[in-house]
Structure 1
C-alpha cells in the first residue's frame, strides 16, 4: 500500500483536510476552532479517513499549514519579549522607514512595535558594514544585559545587532550567555533568522520570531501529542511561507517562516494545474471565508519575494504594517471572503469587509448567532447557493436569516433586498478585480493574457464574474477546489531558502568571496531539507537582489548558476538588465550595478505532471434542473442549468448560465461563458465569443 498522506489547512473560517491514498483523495471541511485549533484538525482528519475507509494508524505523513502565526502577531497574543540591540538603534523599529502610505491623512496610525521601548535594551558594541569590529562587546556588558533580561521576567528574547549579517560573533556570544543563564528562555538571533542587509526588516523579523516562538512551540507540541493519542503516529511537516516543507522542529525554532503557509499551499495547488494544462501565464485566485488571495504564476511557478508585511493598521493597505524578511510566495491579499461583512459607510454606500464573521458566529444564514450580512448571505439570496446542500449538507443555511440581516443593515440604501444583495457581491467582486489589476501592473504584466485558476470555497462562486470584469477569457476550476490549499500541501517540495547579506558591486565582483558564502548557504539549506527529503533528488536555485547604485530598493534576479568565475560579472549584469526591463520597460545605461542580498534555495525536484489533452469529443452535460440565479452582467434573474460535478465525464459541456454543484463549493458559469469538463476532472470555462 502506498504512503497515506494528509494535508491540513487552518483558515479563518474553515479547517480543510485532504487525505491522499491509493484509492484517490478524500476531503473534509470543518469550522475552525479558535480556542483549540488542533481539535478541528483531529475532527477533519477523522472525517476524511472515515470517508476513505482508512484507519488513522495507516496515515504515514501529516503536512500542516496555518495562519496562527499571522493571527498571533495581528492580535498581539505573543510572549513578553526583550529586544537587545546596538546602542543608538533602540528606536529603529518605532521610527520605521518614515514612509507615509496615506500621504494626506493627518491622523496616520502606525502599528505599535511588538516590543515596547522599556523592554528594548542596548549593548555597547558596533560592527561595520564589512564585518570589522569597531567596538568590541565586553564580557561585563554581556553579563549586565543577562541580568536585565533575568530581572524582567521575559518569556522570549530577540538579539539584533547592527551589521550582524556581515559578522555574527557578537550576537552568538550574547545568545550563548542568555542560554546558559536562562535555559527556559526562547531566544532568536537575527543572524540566524534573517542575516540580510537593512536593520528595520531584520530587527522586525527576529522580534516577530521571538514573540510567537513560545506559543507556536506549545501549539505544535500539543498537536503532535494529540495526533499520537488519536492513533496517528506519522511525522508532521509544516508548509513554510515560501511554498516548501520543513520539519515541525524547524518550525518551532523559526515560526516566522510560517507567516503565509496556508495561502502558499494554494499557489502550489494552482501551479500544478498550470503546468498540466500548459498555461504559461496563470492568475491563482483563492477565496475562502475570510480573505481572497491573488498570485501570479509564470512558467508553472508562483512568484516569490524575500519580504512580507504583517499586522497592518489599515487592513490590506500596503505600507501600513511591519515588514519582515522571510521567503514568501508573493501574493496580494484583501478582506474579501464568504464571511466578509457588508455595511453602509458615512456616505450611504455599501462597503464589504475587511471585517469577517469568520466561523464564530459566522454568516447570519449559518444559524450560529450571526446577525451581520455577509457575502455568503448575499450569494444565498441571489440563488448562487443551495441552502439544503451547502458543505455537502453538513451546514444547512437559512435564507430567512440572510434576508433579515440584509434588511437590518442595508435598508437605508433604499434598495430592495435582492438589489442590496447584488450590491454586496458586486462590491466584493470589484474590490478583488482592482487588487488583481494592481498586482499584475506592479509586475509589468497585462492581466488579459492570463488564465485564472480559481479555488477555495468562495472563488468558484465569483470567478466567472471576476473574469468578466478583468477581460480574462479562460478560467479553470480544479477538482477539490474547495480544499485547494490542503491539496497543495501534498504537492509541495521539501525546501529551505538560506539568505545572506553580502554587498558586491559588479565592477569589483569578487567571485571567490561570493562562492565561499554560497557554499555556506547551500550547506545550511541542505541540512534542513535532507531531514525530511530522505534521499529524494534535489535542485539548487539562486536569486541575487540587485539594484543600480543610488537606488533605494533591489529587484530579485534569478541566476542560472550558484558558483561563479571571475568574468561572470557580465552574466550578472545581463540577467539584471533583463529582469529590470521586464519590470520597468527599459534598463539604464552608464550606471553601476550592485548586489545586496543573496538567497539560495535547496528543494526536492518537482515531479513532472502528465499533460492534459483537450477532449476529443464534446457532449451535453446531464442537467438536474433549472433554478433561478441572478446574473450580474445582465442585471437580471436568469434560469441557470444545475449540473452535478460528479456526473461530468470528459468532454461534457454546458453553456452559461449554469451552476456546478459539489460538496465543498459551487461553480457559477455566467451567461458569457461555456464550461467543458477536462480529462483530469478540471472545469475549463471559456468565453463563448471573442471580445471585439
Structure 2
C-alpha cells in the first residue's frame, strides 16, 4: 500500500454530511445532504467533491477517519436488530426496573424510555458468580445449548449476554459465547465483560444490550462503506472516531459499535481543544450546533471533560436521569434538540416550543423547497436576515424566503397573532434561551462561572447563534475557527489513536494491596495498548491512569488521575492525598474518619497529541472591505438594523468589522451582534469581542 499524508475526515450529521480533506497543510471541504437510506452515498459524493477541489484521485488518500450519528439515531429511533438478552436467573427485569430513582419527584405521569429488549426476548440461565468473583452456582453447558436452540428458533439476529458480577469473572459469559459460536455462528454475540466490565448491573446490562442491538446495523453499514470506498479505488485504512475523543480501527468499531455513540460531537470537542491550545486558553466553552442538535462542552486546561456514563434518548426535555445510561468512556457534554432543522410549534399554553423533533435533510426546513411545511430554526434565521438565500451552502442550495414566511405564519403566527418576522424573533429567542439555560446548568453542575470562559463555536448553525448566546451568558469573547461549518470533521483529523480499558475491582484503602493493583493496572495497560497497536503498530503510545474513588457509604465516585509513577508503585497514603484533594476541589472539605473505597480502575492508551503553534494575537487594524449591507433583525434591541456584510475570504490578518454584521463563507455565516466587533486573527479565526 502506497503511503500518503493526505487525510480525509467525514462526519455524518442529522442534516448534512461534512467532508474535509487535508493535503500539504491545505484544507478542502464540502457539505452534502445526508442520505438516510444509504449514508455511504453522501460520503462518496462528498469525497469526490473534495478530491476534485484538491486535484487528486480517491486512490491518493492515505487515511480516512469517520464519525457518525447512526448509532445514536438507531437507539433513539429503535431501528436495531431483533435482539435477545441472556442473564442470570432472577435478573431478567433489571433493564426495566432501572434504579428506581425518580428524576422528577412530583410528576405523577413520569415517562421513562422503554427498554430496548421487551420482556419476552429476555432469557435466564441458572448460574451465579459471587461479589468476589467466586463461582457460587456452576453454569451447565447443556442448559446453554437448549437456550441457544430456542434463540435460533426465535429468529434472533443478535444476543446480549450480561451475567451477575461477570466483570470479576467472565468464565460463564465466555462459555455462553462459545456455545453460540459452535451452534449459531451467524448470530452476533456481545458479552458485558468485554463491552463494559464495570459494577452496577443496570448500567452494564443496558450497555451490552445497546451494543448488541445496533451491532448488526453498524457492521452492515461499515462493511458497505468499506466496499463502496474500495470500488472508488480507495486503498487506505479506515478508522472511526469513538465517543471518548480518540480513533479506533474499523474492525474494533464493528465489534463495539456502542463506543461510536456521540462520536460526531466528540470530534467537535477535540477540534475546540485544539483551538484552545493554539490560543493558550484554559477555560473554554465549546458550542457545536448542527442541523439536529446543539452540544455544549467544558474544556479546561485544553482538555475536554470526560465521563464514564452518559445517557441517550432522554424522554423528559433532555433532563438528566430520563434516558438510557450507556457505561463507556465519553466526552462529557450536554446535548439538546436545538439545531438548524429543529421544528417549532405552539403548545397548549400558547408558548413557542422548539425541538427536539427535526426536519433533518428529508424534507429539511421549509425554505429548502423539498416538501417541508413546518418552520425550522433555519427558516427563522432566513426571515431575520441572518442568511443569504442565494449563498447557502456555497450557493448549492437556494433558499425560498416565501416558504419560510408561510411556514412561520401558518404554524406560529396565526395561533399567536404575529407576523412572520415577529414569529421568527420569538422562535430564535426561545431556541437561544434553551441553549443558554443548558450551558448555565452544565456550568453550575461543574462549579464553573461562564463569565470567565471563552466560547469556541462551530457547526453549520453555531456561528449564526453564538454571538447572541454570548450576550445571554455574559461571555466576552467568541472564537469562530476556519472551517467552523465542518468543525467535527476537522476534529477527527486532530484526534489521537486511543482506547480506554476499565474494570471494576472493589478495594478499600484500609485493605490496600499494592501487588494486586500493580498487576491490575498492567493488565489494563496491555489491553488498551493492544487496541491502539491494531490502528498503528509503529506510533509512540502514552498511558494515562485513572481510578474512581468515594467515601464508604457514598453512592457515586469521583475520578482521580494518577501519574505513571503513582500507578506503577501504588501507595495508600498517596491515593488518599490525591482523592482528598479532588474531593475538596468539588465539595469544599474532606470527610474525616471515613474509609475510602476504589471501585473502578481505568487506563487510556493514546498516541501523543502533536504540539501546536501559539497564535500571535492581533489587535484591530484596518477596517475590512465591505461587500454591502443588508437588513438584519437584532434580538438584543428588538429591531431591524442595517448590517455590514463582509466575505471571510477577503479579510486580511488584523482586519476588523463592527457589529451589526454578517461575515459570510460557503459553509456558514458568522453573525456579529451590535454589541460586538470581530477581528481576523493570523490563523484565520474570527475573534468576536465586546466593544
Q: TM-score range by the shorter chain?
A: over 0.9
* Residues 559-602 of structure 1 deviation map (CA, whole Å, 9 limit, x = unaligned): 22366477622222222222222322333222221110111100
* Distance (Å, rounded) in 2 between the aligned partners of 1:134 and 1:459: 55
Partner of 1:455: 458
1:143 Cα shift? 2.3
Partner of 2:526: 523
| 1:607 paired residue among 578, 591, 610 | 610
Partner of 2:10: 8
1:249 Cα shift? 0.4
Partner of 2:469: 466
* Contact 2:31-2:667 within 8 A present in 1 as well: yes
User: 1:30-429 counterparts in 2 under 5 A?
Assistant: 30-314=32-316, 316-411=318-413, 412-429=415-432
1:171 Cα shift? 0.9
Residue 656 of structure 2 corresponds to residue 634 of structure 1: no
1:23 Cα shift? 5.4
Partner of 2:671: 668
Instruction: Indicate the larger mover: 378-387 or 411-420.
Output: 411-420
Give the direction of change, closer, same or farther, for the CA distance of 1:316–1:654 in structure 2 (3 Å limit). Answer: same
Partner of 2:448: 445
* Contact 1:365-1:399 within 8 A present in 2 as well: yes
* Contact 1:340-1:374 within 8 A present in 2 as well: yes
* Residues 50-105 of structure 1 deviation map (CA, whole Å, 9 limit, x = unaligned): 11111111011111100111111111111111111111111100100112122222
* Distance (Å, rounded) in 2 between the aligned partners of 1:315 and 1:181: 45
1:343 Cα shift? 0.9
1:680 Cα shift? 0.4
Partner of 2:557: 554
* Residues 189-225 of structure 1 deviation map (CA, whole Å, 9 limit, x = unaligned): 1111111111111001111111111111111000000
| 2:492 paired residue among 489, 493, 513 | 489
* Residues 326-381 of structure 1 deviation map (CA, whole Å, 9 limit, x = unaligned): 11111000011011111111111111111111111111101111000111111111
1:312 Cα shift? 2.3
SS of alignment partner, residue 123 of structure 2: strand
* Contact 1:511-1:565 within 8 A present in 2 as well: no
Give the direction of change, closer, same or farther, for the CA distance of 1:159–1:529 in structure 2 (3 Å limit). Answer: same
Instruction: Indicate the larger mover: 417-426 or 482-491.
Output: 417-426
* Residues 213-260 of structure 1 deviation map (CA, whole Å, 9 limit, x = unaligned): 111111100000001111222211000010110000001101010001
* Distance (Å, rounded) in 2 between the aligned partners of 1:543 and 1:374: 43
1:652 Cα shift? 0.7
* Distance (Å, rounded) in 2 between the aligned partners of 1:448 and 1:578: 25
* Contact 1:509-1:566 within 8 A present in 2 as well: no
Partner of 1:657: 660
Instruction: Indicate the larger mover: 316-325 or 197-206.
Output: 316-325
SS of alignment partner, residue 500 of structure 1: strand
1:634 Cα shift? 1.2
1:554 Cα shift? 1.2
* Distance (Å, rounded) in 1 between the aligned partners of 2:574 and 2:435: 39
TM-score, reference length from structure 1: 0.98
* Distance (Å, rounded) in 2 between the aligned partners of 1:586 and 1:671: 44
SS of alignment partner, residue 581 of structure 1: helix
* Residues 13-62 of structure 1 deviation map (CA, whole Å, 9 limit, x = unaligned): 00000001115000000010010100001001111111111111101111
* Contact 1:275-1:611 within 8 A present in 2 as well: yes
1:109 Cα shift? 2.0
* Distance (Å, rounded) in 1 between the aligned partners of 2:47 and 2:434: 34
* Distance (Å, rounded) in 1 between the aligned partners of 2:419 and 2:584: 51
* Contact 1:641-1:658 within 8 A present in 2 as well: yes
* Residues 623-644 of structure 1 deviation map (CA, whole Å, 9 limit, x = unaligned): 1112111111111111111111
* Distance (Å, rounded) in 2 between the aligned partners of 1:293 and 1:98: 28
1:485 Cα shift? 0.3
* Distance (Å, rounded) in 1 between the aligned partners of 2:292 and 2:677: 29
Which consecutive residues of structure 2, in runs of 5 or more, have no partner in the other structure? Answer: none
| 1:589 paired residue among 584, 587, 592 | 592
| 2:434 paired residue among 420, 431, 436 | 431
Give the direction of change, closer, same or farther, for the CA distance of 1:479–1:319 in structure 2 (3 Å limit). Answer: same
Length, aligned pairs only: 688
* Contact 1:542-1:562 within 8 A present in 2 as well: no
* Contact 2:406-2:420 within 8 A present in 1 as well: no
* Distance (Å, rounded) in 2 between the aligned partners of 1:262 and 1:567: 37
* Contact 2:620-2:679 within 8 A present in 1 as well: no
* Distance (Å, rounded) in 2 between the aligned partners of 1:295 and 1:211: 28
* Contact 1:2-1:21 within 8 A present in 2 as well: no
1:315 Cα shift? 5.1
* Distance (Å, rounded) in 2 between the aligned partners of 1:566 and 1:19: 44
Which consecutive residues of structure 1, in runs of 5 or more, have no partner in the other structure? Answer: none
* Contact 2:269-2:286 within 8 A present in 1 as well: yes
* Distance (Å, rounded) in 1 between the aligned partners of 2:670 and 2:653: 17
* Residues 411-467 of structure 1 deviation map (CA, whole Å, 9 limit, x = unaligned): 221222211111111110000000000001111111111100000000000001000
* Distance (Å, rounded) in 2 between the aligned partners of 1:53 and 1:685: 34
Give the direction of change, closer, same or farther, for the CA distance of 1:565–1:509 in structure 2 (3 Å limit). Answer: farther
| 2:621 paired residue among 618, 623, 634 | 618
Give the direction of change, closer, same or farther, for the CA distance of 1:564–1:378 in structure 2 (3 Å limit). Answer: closer
Poorly superposed stretches of 4+, deviation over 6 Å: none
* Distance (Å, rounded) in 2 between the aligned partners of 1:267 and 1:368: 32
* Contact 2:246-2:498 within 8 A present in 1 as well: yes
* Contact 1:86-1:162 within 8 A present in 2 as well: yes
1:533 Cα shift? 2.2
* Distance (Å, rounded) in 1 between the aligned partners of 2:167 and 2:161: 12
1:178 Cα shift? 1.2
1:617 Cα shift? 6.6
* Contact 1:503-1:597 within 8 A present in 2 as well: yes
* Contact 1:501-1:598 within 8 A present in 2 as well: yes
* Distance (Å, rounded) in 2 between the aligned partners of 1:123 and 1:563: 42
